[in-house]
Amino acid sequence: MRANSLSLLRTAAKYAGPRSIAHRSGQYGLRWSSSEARQWSTPLAKTLAEAITTTGPISVAAYMRQCLTSPDGGYYTRHTTGHDQFGAKGDFITSPEISQVFGELVGIWLYTEWLAQGQKEKVQIIEVGPGRGTLMDDVLRTISTFKAFARSIESIYLVEASPHLRKQQAKLLSGTEELEEAELGWKSPCKHLLDCDIIWCEDIRFLPKEESSTPFILAHEFFDALPIHVFQNTASSSIPASSTILTPTGPITPKHGPQVPKNHWHELVVSPIQSPTGKEDAEEFHLTVSKTPTPHSLYLPQTSSRYKALSKTENSIIEISPESLSYISDFAIRIGGANPAPPSPPPSRSPSNTSPVSHSPPTPPFQKPSPSGAALILDYGPAATIPANTLRGIRAHKPVSPFTSPGLVDLSADVDFLALAETALTSSPRVEVHGPVEQAFFLSTMGIKERTERLIRKAKLGKDSVADIEETVKRLDIGWKRLVDRGPTGMGRIYKAMAIVPFADEKGTVRRPVGFGGDVVR
């Protein structure tokens, strides 16, 4: 998200560089009275401060989750009359709103994958985090022109937690804000594919996994908004190592006592600032380093060799999003099926009885006889490195502190594409990952320039006034160039595309998808 402001943030980060968070031990165990006459910027800020006062500092992930999706004023779940999060009048503008060609090319990409996989039936179109529905509207409009592909689509699912955004999506995609209750959530007829309903649910886990279905999954600027945990590598002690002790019988080295300090991962946590400056948009919360390891700091940095490689690098900072890894694992399993279940241990016997102890059989992992479908992820973040110090806030197209005005500021962080790829490959043995590639490469090879030139020629032949034609031509020309701009802070360089597709055939033939170095396969 946040196409207008991301370049400003990148420029600032370039000169700020990585930084460690100094220990602020005075903040821990802090208790102060919330009954003081302190004015909070939002009701959610007051709620968060009172909760932290009671339970202690919270993780960055918990802070992000509350700021974005709290039912009591979260950024995406609130509804303010006359204000919209998206678009020129909101806080940020997304790629589909910059140019309609973006969504059209995504629809064409789905069509080319459908062709390459043998034009399967029972197709599912799934989008997570659909925003206002602009991308899905362009995708479905494009798909409707490919009649055979359109007929193969059995269902359309939108995963959306915000009631307000669901209504916006329904108005755009169905022509009405009235949603009918359904088994999985809500539904409404699709205006582009008349034989299909659009079904909304709050979590992708509610969507059934079907052995014979072919899911095509879209995640555009979705992972950047999922909560992250932040860890800093710190030395646990500054006490010097034990020295040799001289005794009448000779030197000895104590087996116990102070040892060489070892580095440990400590989690960065959020707590209120006790004495705010009182200035408008001043920070009300800040980051501190936990004095002791948290459950997350003991587990998450051990889940990848990439993190373990930094275990002895003092002050190194890493960001990990467990929710992102859970979603990408779900994508991979829907496409290729899960890993086979491990062998069952022999039945145990109770100490006082020789008969086996019965246990309920575990749920077998989801399996697909033939992998099918694809997932297309479009977001921003480094191609191979671990994100660090990337938590940001955006409001009215300008970068602001993520610790001011909770619920009114959009929060996001860079996506760890390599972590997504690793998780997809370990979650399903029958998928492969392509990318990430720069958005400029993906859109250019998909034909964004050629499609835009065709729209410009069509606009010039229209019957609109000269001023309107010039405005349309200017908008189309600026839009596509902005999407593929490869300058230091351009969208074409910062944004990346990554695809998950079925694994190569038994012969080991590698088929690169269109947009990732491959050609259309029929």
Which of 375, 364, 368 minimizes the C-alpha distance to 336?
Answer: 368
Is the pLDDT score of 73 beyond 90?
no
Q: How many CB atoms lie within 10 A of CB 474?
A: 11
User: Could you tell me the pLDDT band of residue 25, with boundaries at 50, 70 and 90?
Assistant: very low
Q: How many CB atoms lie within 10 A of CB 233?
A: 20
As a CATH number, domain 95-227+368-381+416-502 is: 3.40.50.150
- In the numeric block, which tokens belong to residue 126? 């799934």
Integer CA distances (angstroms), 74 to 187, 276, 333, 343, 411, in order: 24, 22, 31, 45, 11
Q: pLDDT for 204-222, tens place per residue?
A: 999 989 999 999 999 999 9
Q: pLDDT for 96-145, tens place per residue?
A: 999 999 999 999 999 999 999 999 999 999 999 999 999 999 999 999 99
User: Could you tell me the pLDDT band of residue 274, with boundaries at 50, 70 and 90?
Assistant: confident
User: Could you tell me the pLDDT band of residue 62, with boundaries at 50, 70 and 90?
Assistant: very high
Q: Name the average pLDDT for the chain.
A: 85
The dihedral built from the CA positions of residue 324, 325, 330 and 333, taken in this order, carries a sign that is positive
User: Are the CB atoms for 358 and 350 separated by under 8 Å?
Assistant: no
pTM for the model stands at 0.86
What is the rounded CA–CA span in Å between residue 127 and residue 107? 12
User: Are the CB atoms for 1 and 225 separated by under 8 Å?
Assistant: yes
User: Could you tell me the pLDDT band of residue 242, with boundaries at 50, 70 and 90?
Assistant: low
DSSP element (H, E) containing 98: helix 95-98
Q: Tell me, what's the pLDDT at 262?
A: 77
User: Could you tell me the pLDDT band of residue 239, with boundaries at 50, 70 and 90?
Assistant: very low
Q: pLDDT for 363-381, tens place per residue?
A: 788 889 899 999 999 999 9
User: Could you tell me the pLDDT band of residue 91, with boundaries at 50, 70 and 90?
Assistant: low
What is the rounded CA–CA span in Å between residue 260 and residue 273? 35
Is the pLDDT score of 341 beyond 90?
no
What is residue 211's three-state secondary structure? coil
b vs e for 41-74, b when ≥16 Cβ sit within 10 Å of the residue's Cβ?
bbebbbbbbeebeeeebbbbbbbbbbbbbbeebb
- In the numeric block, which tokens belong to residue 33? 């009275």
Mean pLDDT of the 75-101 span? 73
User: Are the CB atoms for 52 and 29 separated by under 8 Å?
Assistant: no
Is the pLDDT score of 148 beyond 90?
yes
User: Are the CB atoms for 245 and 258 separated by under 8 Å?
Assistant: no
Q: Tell me, what's the pLDDT at 505?
A: 64
Please tell me which residue, 83 or 455, carries the higher pLDDT value.
455
Is the pLDDT score of 433 beyond 90?
yes
Is the pLDDT score of 166 beyond 50?
yes
Q: pLDDT for 454-501, tens place per residue?
A: 999 999 888 788 888 999 999 999 999 999 999 988 999 999 999 999
Q: Tell me, what's the pLDDT at 38?
A: 77
Is the pLDDT score of 24 beyond 80?
no
Using the 8-state DSSP alphabet, how is residue 26 labeled? G
pLDDT over 90, % of the chain: 63
Phi, psi of 151 (to 5 degrees): -70, -25
Q: Could you tell me where the beta strands, DSSP code E, fall in 202-239? A: 214-220, 229-235
Q: Tell me, what's the pLDDT at 396?
A: 81
* Beta-strand pair 317-320/431-438: unpaired
Is the pLDDT score of 360 beyond 90?
no
Integer CA distances (angstroms), 323 to 219, 328, 340, 419, in order: 14, 9, 23, 12
Boundaries of every domain in the chain = 95-227+368-381+416-502
Is the pLDDT score of 77 beyond 70?
yes
Q: Tell me, what's the pLDDT at 30?
A: 41
User: Are the CB atoms for 6 and 489 separated by under 8 Å?
Assistant: yes
β partners of residue 498: 377
Is the pLDDT score of 11 beyond 60?
no
Mean pLDDT of the 250-261 span? 61
